[in-house]
Amino acid sequence: MNYRKLGNTDIEVSTICLGTMTWGEQNNQDEGFEQMDYALDQGVNFWDTAEIYSVPPKKETFGHTEIIIGNWFRKTKKRNKIILASKVGGPGRNYLRNGENSFVGKNLREALNGSLKRLQTDYIDLYQLHWPERNVNSFGKLGYHHNDDEKEWNNFEEILENLKKFIEEGKIRYIGISNETPWGATKFLKISEEKKLPRMMSIQNPYNLLNRTYEIGLAEISIRDKIGLLAYSPLASGYLSGKYRNNQLPKNSRIERDGDFWTRYDKPNTKKAVDSYYEISKKYNLNFAQMSLKFCEIQKFVTSVIIGATTMEQLKTDVESVNVKLNDEINKEINNVQKIYPNPCP
């Protein structure tokens, strides 16, 4: 396994992060336990979850993934071996604290204490804001409509001050952002420095061969300010494993189960781009999924690549991607495909 520093801390996290959002929906608790056992044995010490998991998020399964992880901690007594990341959800879901702001005051305290209880732990190593409170283009949304009447609670300094309280209480070690923009990231970092408040240590945003938009603005921030990317959706909901090629629709896959939810990668040039990348993997005798993951891992602005598997076979394949080598010729061919089909699924 490979490891990198989390932000400017001394914590070393595995460059493969165990994603957990299918547990409680596509995977049951026993399968989640098996994945956790295997991942830890392979040196994966970094796990990511969120209060709204499992996915697709709904009231009936809210918090189920954290419960499964907490039960594993209780059974194995191995909490101290894991760098655990979770997320607090923001406004937009009525069942989530009545859809109110969740990043300050009683809402944040309720969210954090709820996660700690479900996870059966006293602290979370990396507590992330799942998506911004303000209007931004998250989850593949394009076009930008600015709201001049944004609520007063959309206050970066107040958010950091509230998070500081929980760091001082020992409930959080470090903090991070997710689905954030270059403006939001720099705003948080600037206020942290000016006001001597906790700084964001990571950004969890999408990054894969079908969506390299992170490179346009956020990559420079990640490198210069040591706030590395935790790359989610590195296989583009399975498209970059090749399993949907030639109009295949595997039973119990995300697209087969919840196709209406996973529309982000159903775009006009998806199939053409996927086929082009697949041909590169075939030419160099590489597993397509492993090539796709390794491309993400080797980027200098990436701290860790979040994998999400529903079968043990998939998990083993994904974890073993750390041993793959991509030479200059392979990377050149990958970049040539990007030129032909630039970010078909932003």
54: CATH? 3.20.20.100
Q: How far is CA 203 from the centre of its chain?
A: 8
Neighbouring CB atoms inside 10 A of 138's CB total: 17
Region 7-30: mean pLDDT is 97
Query: Is 269 a domain residue?
Result: yes
The CA–CA distances, whole Å, from 199 to 33, 133, 159, 186, 264 equal 33, 18, 11, 11, 31
Q: Phi, psi (5° rounding) for residue 90?
A: -100, -165
The reply to whether 346 falls in a domain is no
Taking residues 201-218, report their average pLDDT: 97
For residues 11-38, average pLDDT: 97
Q: Tell me which residue has tokens 């283009």.
A: 137
Among all chains, which residue has been given the structure tokens 């494993």? 241
Structural domain total, the chain? 1
Give the burial class of 10: count Cβ atoms within 10 A of its Cβ; 0-12 exposed, 13-18 middle, 19 or more buried. exposed
Other CB atoms within 10 A of residue 106 CB: 10
Whether pLDDT at 208 is above 80:
yes
Q: What is the mean pLDDT of the chain?
A: 94
Residue 298 lies in a domain: yes
Q: How far is CA 52 from CA 84, 96, 205, 328, in A?
A: 16, 8, 17, 40
At 344, list the tokens: 């078909």
Q: What is the pLDDT of residue 123?
A: 98
Specify the pLDDT at position 247.
87
112, burial (CB in 10 Å: exposed 0-12, middle 13-18, buried 19+): buried
- Express each pLDDT in 295-306 by its tens digit: 999 999 999 999
Report, as an integer, the average pLDDT of 50-79: 96
Q: What is the mean pLDDT of residues 19-30?
A: 96
Express as a percent the part of the chain with pLDDT over 90. 83
153 has pLDDT over 70: no
Reported confidence tier of residue 240, pLDDT bands at 50, 70, 90: very high
53 is catalytic: yes
At residue 154, the pLDDT reads 57
| 38, 53, 144, 265: the active-site residue | 53
For residue 151, what pLDDT is reported?
Answer: 62
Q: Quick one: pLDDT at residue 145?
A: 81
User: What are 346's two structure tokens?
Assistant: 């932003």
Quick check: is 97 in a domain? yes
Q: What is the pLDDT of residue 138?
A: 78
Q: How far apart are CA 54 and CA 65, in angstroms?
A: 6
CB 337 within 8 A of CB 275: no
The whole-number average pLDDT for the span 315-341 is 98
Q: What is the mean pLDDT of residues 284-305?
A: 98
pLDDT at position 152 is 56
Confidence of residue 146 (pLDDT cuts 50, 70, 90): confident
Q: Under 8 Å CB-to-CB from 145, ≥6 apart: which residues?
A: 135
Position 74 scores a pLDDT of: 98
- pLDDT tens-digit readout, 161-172: 999 999 999 999
Model confidence pLDDT, tens digit, residues 80-120 = 999 999 999 988 788 888 777 679 889 999 999 999 999 99
Domain that holds residue 149: 3-340
Whole-angstrom distance, CA of residue 30 vs CA of residue 22: 13
Whether 345 is covered by a domain: the verdict is: no
| 332 domain residue, yes or no | yes
Residue 222 has pLDDT above 70, yes or no: yes
